A and B are shown apart, each in its own frame.
Chain A
């Protein structure tokens, strides 16, 4: 291969590497970041974030609508299947998103392996439990008032 052909091939390779590979070479070899994994986490965070855009707008509207109303009114409101379904969706998306976000913070700032595992498990447990409490409350409101 001539010298110019070689250098233009190298330039081409460098260019395509810039376009297709956003990660450092070391990162590619190890395939790991601080969290030891990540594409699924990243995607789930975006998807729950996108879901929360309309859901939180709706919830702000709902909270303003219900503000100052007695419990009987809130129960009647939550008895509407659309409101109950949106509340349940809000709860699921919120706690999934919160748990993913908090995990990213923990991955970044807690370096001690065992402490990190314990904190992550506590966050997951708390998020799951709170989500279940909220979901059962929504179901009870929707079904029996």
Chain B
């Protein structure tokens, strides 16, 4: 036994024979690929958006509370931290939106060949970047 993890690699087949099972390598062994990176990004943006709902709730609650509360949330969203959070929130939303559509396409059985997966992955990144940029151009114009 070269590695202590070898102990976990011993298994039995359904007819009882002992077999030496292969162990999947650790995460850092794999070269990052567009498939794995985008998958991780989908989760990361999902978590970020979940935290970002706090901003939505604060905004709604402040609007329902009164002028002073609403002025507070408005001032926060215009502060450097607020703008940075909103920028991250829009980018996360657009990425999760586009990647989510890609997932729904897969669920319906479309685009599952590897070349198509690579192409749709690139399309999702470009679309999310363009939509984020457009949102901010419009947002800064109307502000």
Chain A residues with CB under 8 Å of chain B are 46, 49-50, 52-53, 56, 60, 64-65, 67-68, 70-71, 74-75, 78, 87, 91, 94-95, 98, 101-102, 105, 130, 133-134, 136-138, 140-141
Contact = CB atoms under 8 A, between A and B. Distances in A.
A67 B64 contact: no
Nearest to B54: A130
Contact of B64 (A49, A94, A130, A140): A140
B61 A137 contact: yes
A68 B66 CA distance: 16
A105 B135 contact: no
B73 to A, nearest CB: 10
A44 to B, nearest CB: 13
B139 A102 contact: no
B16 to A, nearest CB: 16
Nearest to B100: A49
Contacts, number: 77
Given A53-B101, A68-B143, A74-B70, A130 B60 contact: no
7 contacts: A49-B100, A60-B135, A68-B142, A71-B63, A130-B54, A134-B56, A134-B57
Given A64-B138, A98-B49, A87 B60 contact: yes
A64 B63 contact: no
A67 B83 CA distance: 12
A120 to B, nearest CB: 14
A91 B46 CA distance: 15
A134 to B, nearest CB: 5
